[in-house]
């Protein structure tokens, strides 16, 4: 049997999101849209919708349709003119069932016993536990609150080993909502280049850069820094609000790596659903993309404002590093300790109790993202749900805080 840790966040979600009457502010997707809403968002109201219902449902193009790969490739060029003059080749984009398959395939293709991997932490558990399950040694590159949860490049020297094969980052980061800026990415690429290490950047929350400081530009994809040994994964689920179509991608300028990934993929995926491919292509078309992103960026910005009001109001109990991008925030909650001193709540128990008392669902940080003391008392909130859901969730959570934590 394969040796792999239970995937905590997926199991917690599975267990609790079906609670009758749940107010779910744990979800990491920008509030999902329907096909009707997508069509409404289109600039061209007379154009046909995404689905050509006369089209025969064959397997379709094995690596994904030409249209979809071209549109993903142009997404990956975002911000590229500054650092990379060659536009990204669509044939180096492979379509997968979500970013979860893209990450798995890349790690499965590249990593085996005897390899060493460095992975940022906290992050999506898949990114450090899949390499471990394949026999690699994994060093965690801990993101610190005092650094705004941005990776510290000077720590790489102490983490790297002669057999380090892969550095894994997640930008923007789940669960903290931090953005690794371009200058840090550039230093990371130089470090990796000098040691011939590949970088995997999970960019599933890109380009949802909604709250960067005015003097900070949104970072471009890791693929734009002129180093071939970089891989980006992404999907339609989070920033594009279309998790239900299960479309993601893996992309790299290294054609031999893409060939190896495609070869591994042949054993798990013939092609993705042709209906999903059509919907994704439509959402990324020039008629729809800008208005879909405008909707999601505005929703994220508005909702982050509401969350910030909550954190301010209950500053005696909660603290955070305000997110700059993505859909999630990591908030630390304290309760009354025995001798009157405030101490971090036990986040697993807090989340279950909050759900039982109020029906509000959030995720426990130290259980799901960064095991152990570092993240004790933290809770991940997915705040880019419908604004009314967030409002109700925060109101109920506020009443809970007043009754049990203050």
Ligand X SMILES: Cc1ncc(COP(=O)(O)O)c(C=O)c1O
By the rule CB under 6 A, 220 interacts with ligand X: no
Residue 123 to residue 298: CA distance in whole angstroms? 25
Query: Shortest gap between Cβ of 114 and ligand X (angstroms)?
Result: 26
Piece of 94-102, 151-159, 272-280, 353-361 that binds ligand X (CB under 6 A): 94-102
Query: Shortest gap between Cβ of 238 and ligand X (angstroms)?
Result: 7
Nearer to ligand X, 129 or 202 (CB): 202
Q: Which of 174, 176, 206, 252 binds ligand X (CB under 6 A)?
A: 174
By the rule CB under 6 A, 105 interacts with ligand X: no
Query: Shortest gap between Cβ of 394 and ligand X (angstroms)?
Result: 22
| Joined tokens for residue 367 | 């259980």
Residues 6+ apart with CB under 8 A from 297: 208, 210
Task: Count CB neighbours of 283 within 10 A.
Answer: 26
By the rule CB under 6 A, 100 interacts with ligand X: yes
3-class state of residue 320 by DSSP: strand
Residue 338 to residue 291: CA distance in whole angstroms? 52
Nearer to ligand X, 124 or 227 (CB): 124
Query: Shortest gap between Cβ of 209 and ligand X (angstroms)?
Result: 15
- Considering Cα of 304, then 309, then 312, then 317, what sign does the dihedral take? negative
Task: Count CB neighbours of 305 within 10 A.
Answer: 12
By the rule CB under 6 A, 179 interacts with ligand X: no
Nearer to ligand X, 170 or 271 (CB): 170
Q: Of the candidates 220, 116, 173, 121, which has an alpha carbon nearest to the alpha carbon of residue 327?
A: 173
Query: Shortest gap between Cβ of 67 and ligand X (angstroms)?
Result: 20
- Omega before 70 cis (within 30°)? no
Nearer to ligand X, 199 or 317 (CB): 199
DSSP state of 197: -
The secondary structure element, H or E, covering residue 198 is strand 198-202
By the rule CB under 6 A, 170 interacts with ligand X: yes
Piece of 40-48, 182-190, 235-243, 331-339 that binds ligand X (CB under 6 A): 235-243
Task: Count CB neighbours of 257 within 10 A.
Answer: 20
Task: Count CB neighbours of 216 within 10 A.
Answer: 13
Query: Shortest gap between Cβ of 249 and ligand X (angstroms)?
Result: 9
Whole-number CA gyration radius for the chain: 21
Nearest 5°: CA angle at 76, between 66 and 237? 80
By the rule CB under 6 A, 98 interacts with ligand X: yes
By the rule CB under 6 A, 221 interacts with ligand X: no
The secondary structure element, H or E, covering residue 331 is strand 328-336
By the rule CB under 6 A, 140 interacts with ligand X: no
Residues 15-44 that bind ligand X (CB under 6 A): 28
Piece of 98-106, 153-161, 267-275, 308-316 that binds ligand X (CB under 6 A): 98-106
Query: Shortest gap between Cβ of 314 and ligand X (angstroms)?
Result: 26
By the rule CB under 6 A, 168 interacts with ligand X: no
Binding pattern for the stretch 196-215 against ligand X, x by CB under 6 A and - elsewhere: ------x-x-----------
| Positions in the binding site for ligand X (CB under 6 A) | 28, 98-100, 103, 124, 170, 174, 202, 204, 235, 237, 243, 248
């Amino acid at each position: 049997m394969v040796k792999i840790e239970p995937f905590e966040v997926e199991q917690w979600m599975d267990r609790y999101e079906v609670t009758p009457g749940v107010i779910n502010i744990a979800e990491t997707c920008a509030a999902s849209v329907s096909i009707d809403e997508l069509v409404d968002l289109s600039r061209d109201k007379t154009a046909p919708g995404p689905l050509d219902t006369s089209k025969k449902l064959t397997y379709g193009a094995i690596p994904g349709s030409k249209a979809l790969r071209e549109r993903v490739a142009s997404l990956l060029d975002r911000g590229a003119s500054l650092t990379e003059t060659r536009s990204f080749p669509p044939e180096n984009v492979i379509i997968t069932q979500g970013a979860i398959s893209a990450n798995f395939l890349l790690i499965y293709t590249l990593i085996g016993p005897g390899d060493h991997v460095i992975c940022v932490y906290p992050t999506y558990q898949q990114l450090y536990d899949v390499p471990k399950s394949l026999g690699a040694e994994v060093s965690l590159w801990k993101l610190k609150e005092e650094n705004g949860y941005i990776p510290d490049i000077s720590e790489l020297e102490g983490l790297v080993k002669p057999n380090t094969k892969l550095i894994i980052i997640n930008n923007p980061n789940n669960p903290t909502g931090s953005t690794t800026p371009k200058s840090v990415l550039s230093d990371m690429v130089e470090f990796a280049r000098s040691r011939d290490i590949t970088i995997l950047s999970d960019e599933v929350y890109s380009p949802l850069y909604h709250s960067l400081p005015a003097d900070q530009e949104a970072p471009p994809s890791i693929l734009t820094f002129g180093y071939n040994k970089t891989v980006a994964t992404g999907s339609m689920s989070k920033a594009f609000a279309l998790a239900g179509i299960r479309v993601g991608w893996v992309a790299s300028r290294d054609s031999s790596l893409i060939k190896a990934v495609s070869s591994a993929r042949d054993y798990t995926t013939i092609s993705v659903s042709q209906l999903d491919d059509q919907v994704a292509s439509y959402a990324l078309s020039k008629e729809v993309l800008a208005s879909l992103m405008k909707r999601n960026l505005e929703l994220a910005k508005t909702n982050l404002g509401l969350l910030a009001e909550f954190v301010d109001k209950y500053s005696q109990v909660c603290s955070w590093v305000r997110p700059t991008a993505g859909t999630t925030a990591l908030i630390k909650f304290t309760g009354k300790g025995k001798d009157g001193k405030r101490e971090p709540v036990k986040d697993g128990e807090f989340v279950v109790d909050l759900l039982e008392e109020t029906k509000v669902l959030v995720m426990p940080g130290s259980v799901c993202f960064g095991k152990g003391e570092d993240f004790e008392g933290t809770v991940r909130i997915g705040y880019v749900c419908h604004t009314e859901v967030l409002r109700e969730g925060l109101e109920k959570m506020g009443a809970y805080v007043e009754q049990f934590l203050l």
